[in-house]
């Protein structure tokens, strides 16, 4: 088999890349380890930056997102017995976020690729990349897929990054001493906006997926198991961490899914080796507090699409050669923002009273200074694609 771009992974990065390349007349094949049902049901991100929404709309895959997604013009920071709204409409006029589940984005992209005759092979768990310096190809299930370039869109635990020879990549990493327990509950949201709540018992986040479905996260110990968290304990902890302002009551209901996520910051540089280009979680991970991971994946494949379009239009590798540096600029801004939101809002085991006071002081600053609040708002809704370039 032969294609122009061999894409490993049918997450948001791989699927959107395949679709954007198709719009430029570039052929690709997507190889995915898991089943279609699995990737369409995997509950993860929910916050789409303005730029991500724009890319999906411009690429003609935003119809359901526009109909069902929930635009938000602010978030609440809750601490010290009070809630403080960060008003995007005033601080970053014209920019907002949209709450729309990642698995819905994935469903929309798969449906569109298949309708356009795109090739996505599911249930292919044994992909191996070969010959990355020249004439690259992928093998799987006794087959061989030759391609001009390979796009490694196979997430943090994929096969592409580890196929790069030792010594090539520089790794930058930070692990956090806690995890997130996430749930989806069949219950209307308890507030109209997202609530990021910091307290002595740990961080909690109130989010949603629709007028009928709520999404919550709890900071839990890094070695927590789902068995430790029966429904009653989850609701009791959410109440203790969110019902901290007068008049706020959590609406409870059946929990329909639960998941645990490690909290990690990670960057592999450069995001390229020979004819292999890494995109999304395959190259970098952020802790989810800043809601940046999916949005970064979209930004990467947008850059990669332009670079590959340049290659096929003119034969020039100029944009491809700049791919890693172009992406890493945005990646490091998101790394900083995600680390900052995480340290601002979580309880650290090692916290000393001094550290706790610093956290409070910084929260007071962000919620009282227009300049500091604007810093949060412009990073949260997403900086323009070419910022600082
Ligand atoms: P993935 O989604 O991981 O996709 C990779 C794909 O490759 C998968 O389908 C996988 O099965 C496949 N694969 C893996 N190995 C192989 C292999 N060997 N061969 C073939 N296929 C393979 N981001 C946001 O922007 N906003 C948020 O609000 C947000 N919230 C989050 C909340 C949580 C709890 C978590 C865990 C993450 C959150 N994120 C958020 C991050 C976001 O979910 C990820 O950054 C995003 O999924 C990255 O997309 P990706 O396509 O790069 O990787
Ligand atoms: C959601 C996830 C996040 O990581 C975040 O910061 C906000 C919302 C969500 O899944 O709704």
ipTM: 0.96
Nearest protein Cα to ligand 2, atom 1? 46
| Cis upstream peptide for 270 (omega within 30°) | yes
What's the pLDDT score for residue 385? 82
What's the pLDDT score for residue 384? 86
Out of 136, 288, 323, 346, pick the active-site residue: 288
Q: Does 196 qualify as catalytic in the annotation? A: yes
Question: 351 pLDDT band (50/70/90 cuts)?
Answer: low
CA quadruple 102, 73, 19, 111: dihedral positive or negative?
Answer: positive
Ligand nearest to the CA of 51: 1
CA 127 to chain centre: 24
What's the pLDDT score for residue 350? 66
Q: With contact defined as beta carbons under 8 Å apart, do 7 and 29 qualify?
A: yes
- Model's pTM, two decimal places? 0.97
HEC letters along 144-169: EEECCEEEECCCCCCCCHHHCCCCCC
pLDDT, tens digit, 9 for 90 and up, residues 205-246: 999 999 999 999 999 999 999 999 999 999 999 999 999 999
Out of 12, 19, 72, 189, pick the active-site residue: 72
What's the pLDDT score for residue 389? 40
Question: Phi/psi class of residue 109: alpha, beta or left (left: φ > 0; alpha: ψ in -120 to 50)?
Answer: alpha
Tally Cβ neighbours within 10 Å of residue 236: 12
- Measured from the CB, is residue 264 less than 6 Å from ligand 1? no
Distance from Cα 222 to the centre of ligand 1, integer Å: 20
Tell which one of 10, 100, 102 to mutate to probe ligand 1, the residue whose CB is within 8 A of the most ligand atoms: 102
Q: Is pLDDT of 388 > 70? A: no
Q: What is the mean pLDDT of the chain?
A: 96
What burial letters (b/e) apply to 179-205, b meaning 16+ CB within 10 Å? Answer: bbbbbbbebebbbebbbbbbbeebbbb
Q: Is pLDDT of 275 > 90? A: yes
Question: 198 pLDDT band (50/70/90 cuts)?
Answer: very high
- Measured from the CB, is residue 205 less than 6 Å from ligand 1? no
Question: 42 pLDDT band (50/70/90 cuts)?
Answer: very high
Q: Does 292 qualify as catalytic in the annotation? A: yes
């Amino acid at each position: 088999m032969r294609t122009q771009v061999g894409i490993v992974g049918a997450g948001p990065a791989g699927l959107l890349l395949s679709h954007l390349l198709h719009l430029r007349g570039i052929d690709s094949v997507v190889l995915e380890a898991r089943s279609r049902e699995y990737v369409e049901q995997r509950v993860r991100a929910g916050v789409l930056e303005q730029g991500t929404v724009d890319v999906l709309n411009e690429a003609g895959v935003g119809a359901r997102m526009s109909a069902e997604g929930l635009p938000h013009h602010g978030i609440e920071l809750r601490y010290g017995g009070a809630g403080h709204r960060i008003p995007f409409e005033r601080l970053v006029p014209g920019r907002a976020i949209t709450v729309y589940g990642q698995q819905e984005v994935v469903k929309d992209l798969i449906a569109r690729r298949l309708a356009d005759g795109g090739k996505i092979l599911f249930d292919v768990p044994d992909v191996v990349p070969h010959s990355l310096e020249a004439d690259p190809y992928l093998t799987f299930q006794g087959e061989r897929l030759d391609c001009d370039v390979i796009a490694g869109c196979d997430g943090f635990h994929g096969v592409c990054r580890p196929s790069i020879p030792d010594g090539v990549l520089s790794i930058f990493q930070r692990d956090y001493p806690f995890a997130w327990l996430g749930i989806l509950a069949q219950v209307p949201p308890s507030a109209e906006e997202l609530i990021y709540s910091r307290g002595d018992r740990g961080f909690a986040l109130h989010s949603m997926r629709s007028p009928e479905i709520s999404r919550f996260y709890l900071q839990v110990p890094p070695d927590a198991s789902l068995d430790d968290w029966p429904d009653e304990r989850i609701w009791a902890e959410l109440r203790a961490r969110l019902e901290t302002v007068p008049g706020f009551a959590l609406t409870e209901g059946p929990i329909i899914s639960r998941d645990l996520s490690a909290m990690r910051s990670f960057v592999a540089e450069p995001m390229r080796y020979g004819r292999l280009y890494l995109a999304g979680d395959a190259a970098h991970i952020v802790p989810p507090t800043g809601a940046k991971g999916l949005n970064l994946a979209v930004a990467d494949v947008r850059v990669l699409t332009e670079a590959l379009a340049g290659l096929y239009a003119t034969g020039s590798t100029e944009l491809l050669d700049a791919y890693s540096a172009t992406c890493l600029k945005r990646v490091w801004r998101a790394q900083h923002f995600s680390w900052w939101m995480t340290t601002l809002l979580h309880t650290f085991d090692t916290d000393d009273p001094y550290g706790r006071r610093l956290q409070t002081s910084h929260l007071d600053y962000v919620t009282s200074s227009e300049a500091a609040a604007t810093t949060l708002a412009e990073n949260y809704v997403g900086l323009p694609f070419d910022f600082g370039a």
